[in-house]
Structure 1
Amino acid sequence: MKDFTKITEQSSNHDGLENLSTRELLEGINQEDQGIALAVEKAIPQIEALVEAIYPRFQEGGRLFYIGAGTSGRLGIVDASEIPPTFGLDHGRVIGIIAGGDHAIRKAVEFAEDNPDQAWEDLQAFGFNEKDSLIGIAASGTTPYVLGGIAKAKEAGWVTGGITNNPGSPLALNSEFPVELAVGPEFVTGSTRMKSGTAQKLALNMISTALMIRIGRIQGNKMVDMQLSNNKLVDRGTRYLQQALDLPYDEAKALLQEHGSVRAALSAR
């Protein structure tokens, strides 16, 4: 493994934080945040390569897994949990797993990330096949839980991606498709829930949304397969149909309720 600079642990560009006013703190955080989107932009070729590798396998029924610890693990779970309501896919197609299990979503589980064998054990509960893909998420790029899972998945023939905020880290070097988001030191030194976590969230949004569009879960720019699980979404679907079919609101809503989805309603007309 080549040497690399762990940017995520470098000292903040700001000091004496305890002496700053609320306004000064907020302005400093915002100043640091302004570079996040640019860092993600630089990684677009890497993100593209990862999506292109996952796409044909996913199209054939493969699944996408995220693994991570702490903030990174929670971000993977958040992204996975939004796929069914937004795109109408089964909960078993995109799955987020966090070190320490579901309990760790709300409360940190000490040392859970330090076991290099645990991620693969956690993945075994889902079975696997050669069409599945795994994305490890770790700001440091050194989390044993994530590295161990990536190594085993590669051996099993999965596509492997790694989202990290330290270029040249072990996660970047050992993933087939690394995504390196170099956002620089955190406002609070080492607090990777801040810029690093925000960059990871942006990248995950891009990966899952692009993948869902590529497999046909969007028509035009509309979520035609979204689950109608609350009044807001029923209203949204109704307005989609109003616009697409030039119908009065009540007629569009009745059509939506009759067919159960925007896609089905559009296909029926």
Structure 2
Amino acid sequence: MNIAVAYKYAPNPQDARVQPDGQVDWSRAKPAVSENDPVAIEMGRRVAAACGAQLIGVCVGPQIVGAAMARKNAMSRGFDRGIILADDQSAQWNSTQIASALASLIQRAEDVTLVVAGDSSIDDAQGVVPAIIAGYLQWSAFLDVIDCEPTDDGYRITQRVHGGTRTVRVSGPCVIATTSDAVTPAVPSMKDILAAGKKPVDVLTASDIDCDDIGITTVGYRKPPVHQRKKRMFSHADELVAALYEDEVL
């Protein structure tokens, strides 16, 4: 039995710059493991340890994700091995194509019964890839997961829902997306970093896998409209409430 964690090596948006036309300039942003993915890796590591499974990291990205530093960065976080698609062609792929490629990598890993992912990547932040992976694998998908425990025939999953939490038992393989605060990820030690370079990592290209060619074209960008403020001051709360009703906010 294997457990896979889908992670993304992405540029940090704190280093990005929004251009006048609304497009984002990523040229100065340094890539790293996406901010929310260490949480998913830590949860995957705990589940793998509880059931004696191997933890496999899967990633799709440009050639840099296959570089030695990027591989060591990822493997030091607790993976036993990795399967990476490193191809500059993937930079033009949309979320559906990336999810399709990740599903292919997961199938290559063999005997995977659980896929863990972060709630969204730090750059695109669309939050749809885990569910699309589940669609390609034809597995169940659970989002906003705060806990996952192995059972005899599957997993016991706790999700954050409106007003509280929900716990479900699922038999068979599934895909889960963790919340950003589900667990506290461990910081790689020097021993972890040194050992990471010796862990096996398969580096593939786009020609090595099957990936759906889903055509989506971005037709433009624009900034959100700027609304003029009324700059009204209120001396009492009832005046504020009346104004909110007047403007149909309440």
TM-score for both structures, normalised by structure 1: 0.32
TM-score for both structures, normalised by structure 2: 0.34
Normalized per residue, the structure richer in helix is 1
